[in-house]
Amino acid sequence: MSAMISIVCVLLAVSTSCMPWLACAEEEHKPQWLSSPLGMRRPQGQSNEFTVASPKEWSESSDARKKECNHEAHLCVGPSHDHYPLGHEPGVLFTARFRVPPLPKSYNSQTMTYYDYFNIFWRQQPKGGFMNQFVPQLMLGNVLANSSNYPDYEPKWLVLDEWHIGAQYFFALPCNTTSEVAPSDQNASVKRKPCWKPKAATGKLIPVKPGELVETTFTLVQVTNVDDWEWHLQMGVVGAHPNRWSLVVSRVPFMGLVKNTKWQDDNYQNVTVGSCLENYNMYVANNYPSTWQISMDVIAPAGESRRVSWDDWRLAGDEHCSWQPKTTLASVDGSSWQRVIWNATLTRSDHAQQ
């Protein structure tokens, strides 16, 4: 079970139309189980619509995937059993802090994409919705960093030459194409697959400097009465004026664009948690920031008497490119909290190259 649901992080050769690592059930009418959140926010032009592979196609492609250094080079960590059952507990707090790393020694902001973050998301998907990811993040390069927000939540890509942060809720809705196949995938030999269109709600975009301390928080808040819950996604510079904080509030899943679903539904009980360097089009060690250190806390609501069963964390997926940063993980927990520290640092020799 845990192998099946583990985040699959490092990806295949790029066929821009089909994203085989996004395995999920083929039938759109059943709640879906998402295998990986990655690959949907590529540089602009590759991301407008996408299809998902069946679990069978996914497993058939996995041998090839294991061998490849394909320049997407994502690194992710998460609990070994993937999720914690804390999504129905107003008062729960997921929080993380990191220092903004130095800019990479070498990067191209037109072609490369950096999303470096602590995130939570839900793998179980209601009918008509896909992905459901709270992903406030550190960004650089060609990135989905803005949105039209209410009412259409159209995502917008920007080219950022310096680090920025911003709160983000990323999700996808069915395409409006009659064939239900992404336009780029219209090949008679390609089977019908659900086609999805990315959507996003974004908070303020804030420039940040290397060395600044940034905090991300996710809280489930009970508003006025038991039936009224909302998630708050915040990211900002610790100790700074409130104008350097970015906020998204989600009163209903998918910002209300998927009907008949609410945060109290069973689908949202199990919260997947983790951190990623979700970077695209990296070619050498120096395309990474030299170091990434993040401290993450999961805190059950006060007054919990039961003990939460905390997992060890692990690197999800393998490192496929020899020059990727080397990582270390350490965790400590109490009955109602867990703290995890992840370091991903380039080795001196890799960093000295080129």
Ligand X SMILES: *[C@@H]1O[C@H](CO)[C@@H](O)[C@H](O)[C@H]1NC(C)=O
- Residues forming contacts to ligand X in the complex (CB under 6 A) are 81, 85, 146, 148, 156, 158, 173, 176, 187, 189, 197, 205, 266, 269-270, 293, 328-330, 341, 343
Of the two residues 77 and 112, which places its CB atom closer to ligand X in the complex?
77
Handedness of CA 37, 43, 46, 47 (dihedral sign): positive
Residue 271, amino acid: V
Of the two residues 172 and 299, which places its CB atom closer to ligand X in the complex?
172
Of the two residues 33 and 283, which places its CB atom closer to ligand X in the complex?
33
CA distances from 79 to 1, 267, 330, 353 (A): 14, 19, 12, 33
Q: How far is the CB of 82 from ligand X (least distance, A)?
A: 7
Of the two residues 73 and 206, which places its CB atom closer to ligand X in the complex?
206
Q: How far is the CB of 283 from ligand X (least distance, A)?
A: 26
Q: How far is the CB of 158 from ligand X (least distance, A)?
A: 6
Q: How far is the CB of 30 from ligand X (least distance, A)?
A: 14
Q: How far is the CB of 84 from ligand X (least distance, A)?
A: 9
Question: Tokens in use for 297?
Answer: 């806390």
Of the two residues 278 and 311, which places its CB atom closer to ligand X in the complex?
311
Q: How far is the CB of 65 from ligand X (least distance, A)?
A: 18
Instruction: Tell me the C-alpha distance between 166 and 148, whole Å.
Output: 14
Q: How far is the CB of 51 from ligand X (least distance, A)?
A: 14
Question: Tokens in use for 114?
Answer: 């950096």
Of the two residues 93 and 341, which places its CB atom closer to ligand X in the complex?
341
Q: If we measure between CA atoms, which residue out of 139, 81, 129, 105 comes closest to residue 277?
A: 139
Question: Tokens in use for 133?
Answer: 């990811």
Three-state DSSP class for residue 117: strand
Instruction: Tell me the C-alpha distance between 50 and 31, whole Å.
Output: 19
Instruction: Tell me the C-alpha distance between 107 and 128, whole Å.
Output: 37
Of the two residues 176 and 224, which places its CB atom closer to ligand X in the complex?
176
CB 185 within 8 A of CB 174: no
CA distances from 27 to 48, 55, 260, 267 (A): 22, 11, 19, 17
Instruction: Tell me the C-alpha distance between 150 and 80, whole Å.
Output: 36
Question: Tokens in use for 89?
Answer: 């507990």
